[in-house]
Amino acid sequence: MAQRRKKRVAVVQCSKEAGSCQWGCIGCGACVSACRLKAVSINEYQTAKIDPEKCVGCGLCAKACPQNLIRVTTEEFTIYPGCMNQALGAQTRKDCDKGCIACGICVRNCPAGAIRIEENHAVIDEDRCIACGMCAVKCPKGVIHDRDGIFAAI
């Protein structure tokens, strides 16, 4: 019996809705131009958005992104941080309403020990993550997303 191949998809690691974060999506459209399947668009916040129904995870958008904000993962991996900010928490609060302030609450609440703080933002180890969503529930800034919208009970 053949094993089902996991579908690959791209995710944008920037949830900027307002602000002037130098680490976030600049809305240049390089990813849109690179995508042959028209799976990438620029939303009303001038941030790249990927349609998981159209995306095949080829990685062309990730290669084209000048900010390195797009990463390719498997469809099964639904938890991801929406911020790659490298500024300290105080500066992040000034720049963006949705930026990671490196508070470590996600780290302390992850039952699998899959989250660490690097360069002032949350990083999730896909190999250790159990997709429970606890980090997304506990994040005070709403930085960590559960693509499926399923959250663990608090």
Q: What is the pTM of this model?
A: 0.80
For 153, counting Cβ atoms within 10 Å of its Cβ (0-12 exposed, 13-18 middle, 19+ buried), the class is: exposed
- Decide if pLDDT at 154 tops 50: no
- For 27-42, how does the pLDDT look when each residue is reduced to its tens digit (9 = 90+)? 899 999 999 999 999 9
Q: Where do the domains of the chain lie? A: 8-146
Instruction: Give strand ranges (E) for 45-149.
Output: 48-50, 70-74, 79-81, 115-118, 121-124, 144-146
For residue 3, pLDDT over 60 is answered with no
CATH number for the segment(s) 8-146: 3.30.70.20
